[in-house]
Structure 1
Amino acid sequence: MGTVNILRNLLLPILALGCLPAAAAHAANAADAECLVPSKPGGAMDLTCKLARKALQDAAGGPPLKLSYLPGGVGAVAWHTLVSQRRGEPNTLVAFSGGSVLNLARGKFGKASVDDVRWVAAFAADYGMIAVPANSPYRTLGELLKAMRREPKRVLIGMSGTIGSQDWMKMALLARQAGLDPRKMRFVALEGGGEQFIAMEAGYVQAISGDVSEALLNPGKVRVLAVLSEHRLPGVLANVPTAREQGYDAVWPVIRGVYMGADVPEKDYRRWVAAFAGMETQPEFERMRTQAGLYPFALTGDALTRYVKQAVANYDRQAEQFNLTRPH
């Protein structure tokens, strides 16, 4: 996978931020601006907030977007903290992904609704992937799935969340096509991508179901067996085949963005929407997004809210395929 150090690149000074629109600079100047990461450090949620922080940072050296970590419940702790205690804070953002939306749709956040928060911006896309340690005997997706079918108790999969989570759904789609009952998969429920890679490096799990950007944060330590995209991805993973190329019809895009509290004043909400909309048009942001192993995707404000509501409906239909019932 090469020796590209994505974390190092993300932490390089951003010299071209002076070209960002005034709305972005104004948003970044808020002394109490904060991005809540709903996982432990090191995963894709962490990366989402870091990307937003770097892109919105004040070129004149003003206060950056502060990062705070609220792991727990694969996003549930951060969600409920914002909704119950911080729903009116005008400068507090929370990172989310397509997996967050899936958890919301499946009732993992309790009696929560899309309308409990205000959806600010989705500014990048990621893709699902299946990976093993760099020294693993499994060199293709087919070999891994064959081993899971032949000796399911010997292949332990690391994933964020439990049955019905995004990582579980990705692996379930593949397992079912390989003739394996998804409910017989052996897996360990972990808290975010950082924990997954730590567990795999320590030998606690033999493979992980995660996201491409997380694999790029661990160069040289993993072998990506398949990317769940429609076509091969450019860059470091250009030689990794898609699941479709290997005979498994599974495509899983993952959007990445931020939301904020439902009681945030309209003017503050629109200020942040404008900041991210302007940010996404800048060449410097495109460079940072590429360095982070992410791909173009841009929706803000009302358009993003409509997208999330449709995604919830789509996830519900997918869950029905695996007879997953929503908690009441």
Structure 2
Amino acid sequence: MTKLTRLLTGVATAAMILAGAGGASAAECIAPADPGGGWDFTCRTVGRLLYDLKIAEEPVQVTNMPGGVGAVAYANVMSKRPSDADLIVATSTVGVTQIAQGKYPADTDVMRWIGMLGTDVGVIVVPKDSPYKSLSDLMDAYKKDPASVVAAGSSGAGGWDHIRLLMVAKAAGMEADAFKQIRWVQFDGGSPAVTQMIGGQVQVVTTDLGEVAGFVESGDIRILGTLSDEPVPAFPDAPTAKSQGFDVTGYNWRGFYTGGEVSDADYQKWVDTMKKLYDSPEWKKAAEGSGLVPIWRGGAEFETYVGEQAEQMRQISKDIGVM
């Protein structure tokens, strides 16, 4: 066999592998944010476990596509890859909130919603040397001067991270008119927001615990309050907002959607694949180690849930004055 023949044979073999023998091909997961955030964690952790547990035959390719808090990826899938059965996109309550507020190019019905595998817990964090030692300290500062503390998160003004801060402010007795005076900075992910906070650009960050758990473990930041019913097992000493007199919870589920024109059979394959992963002890360990609470909703039940949550987010946004 000549070198040229061997080369052509190798190219043909590689092409068959990429195309997938028997119709199978490597899956791709789009993380609609920069590396290091919650959506990136969702894609990379799920992709790694699918391959390690031999649920997927090929490694899952992760593509970071930041922009518009997920709107760029949503538009890309809707316009260019609506029937791509090998494509999934990481999303969460943050994305659905943006959709509900009209910040995406279309409503939830243009995609097929596969399932959620867990929920992240909202947290309000400050640098380790912050003068604010509790949520009451922070809320007192806001009530005295709403513009005195610059806050940040991974969503824009009126997005889920912002809404969670305003929900605590509302529970603290602030009026909706004062909400507009709170200065808010958006970053593409909780990790970049915390990095800027440590650098002194902002004073407080509202985000998901899973995105910033490493900063908490290293001692660079402190949790003023977790927006959960009970203390988070991974950080049992972190006080809840409820324990400090603020009756607020702010969960952020983690899950996936695929294109709206994907066939019923291919859609169901993804639902079954994610359910198989969810049932594995490896997923439970990975989720809980990152501050996630494992919860499963999939298929038709999940699609209904997403539609209902979008409507709830629209109403909450109106109630607190951001719509």
Q: Which residue of 1 aligns with 2:226?
A: 227
Q: Which residue of 1 aligns with 2:186?
A: 189
Following TM superposition, by how much is the alpha carbon of 1:226 offset from its aligned partner in structure 2, in angstroms?
0.2
> Aligned to 2:295, what secondary structure does the other structure show?
coil
Contact 2:126 2:204 in 1 (8 A): yes
Equivalent position amino acid for 1:104 in 2: I
Give the TM-score normalised by the residue count of structure 2: 0.87
Following TM superposition, by how much is the alpha carbon of 1:176 offset from its aligned partner in structure 2, in angstroms?
2.2
Q: Which residue of 2 aligns with 1:162?
A: 156
Following TM superposition, by how much is the alpha carbon of 1:185 offset from its aligned partner in structure 2, in angstroms?
0.7
Cα deviation code 1:257-284 (max 9, x no counterpart): 1110011122211111111111111122
Q: Which residue of 2 aligns with 1:15?
A: none
Equivalent position amino acid for 2:253 in 1: I
Whether 1:122 and 2:116 are equivalent positions in the alignment is yes
Cα deviation code 1:283-307 (max 9, x no counterpart): 2221121122211210111110011
> For residues 40 and 192 of structure 2, what CA distance do their matches in structure 1 show?
12
> For residues 191 and 64 of structure 2, what CA distance do their matches in structure 1 show?
13
Aligned mate of 1:80, from 68, 75, 78? 75
Following TM superposition, by how much is the alpha carbon of 1:214 offset from its aligned partner in structure 2, in angstroms?
1.5
Q: Which residue of 2 aligns with 1:133?
A: 127
Q: How do residues 214-293 of structure 1 correspond to structure 2 at under 5 angstroms?
A: 214-218=211-215, 219=217, 220-235=219-234, 237-293=235-291
> For residues 77 and 283 of structure 1, what CA distance do their matches in structure 2 show?
34
Q: 1:217 to 1:286 in 2, by over 3 A?
A: same
Contact 1:120 1:259 in 2 (8 A): yes
> For residues 47 and 175 of structure 1, what CA distance do their matches in structure 2 show?
29
Greater displacement, 36-45 / 178-187:
178-187
Contact 1:213 1:293 in 2 (8 A): yes
Contact 1:215 1:224 in 2 (8 A): no
> Aligned to 2:256, what secondary structure does the other structure show?
strand
Following TM superposition, by how much is the alpha carbon of 1:58 offset from its aligned partner in structure 2, in angstroms?
4.6
Q: Which runs of 5+ in 2 are unaligned?
A: 1-19
Q: Which residue of 2 aligns with 1:113?
A: 107
Contact 2:100 2:313 in 1 (8 A): yes
Cα deviation code 1:162-217 (max 9, x no counterpart): 22100110011111233332111111122221221121121100110111112213
Q: Which runs of 4+ in 1 moved over 4 A?
A: 58-62
> For residues 280 and 143 of structure 2, what CA distance do their matches in structure 1 show?
47
> For residues 317 and 46 of structure 2, what CA distance do their matches in structure 1 show?
31
Equivalent position amino acid for 2:292 in 1: L
Q: 1:148 to 1:30 in 2, by over 3 A?
A: farther
Following TM superposition, by how much is the alpha carbon of 1:127 offset from its aligned partner in structure 2, in angstroms?
1.2
Whether 1:206 and 2:233 are equivalent positions in the alignment is no
Contact 1:225 1:240 in 2 (8 A): yes
Q: Which residue of 2 aligns with 1:9?
A: none
Of all paired residues, the percent bearing the same amino acid is 31
Aligned mate of 1:34, from 5, 8, 28? 28
Give the TM-score normalised by the residue count of structure 1: 0.86
Aligned length: 296
Q: Which has the larger radius of gyration?
A: 2
Q: Let me know the Cα RMSD of the aligned residues.
A: 1.8
Cα deviation code 1:42-86 (max 9, x no counterpart): 111111112211221155695311110110001100110011111
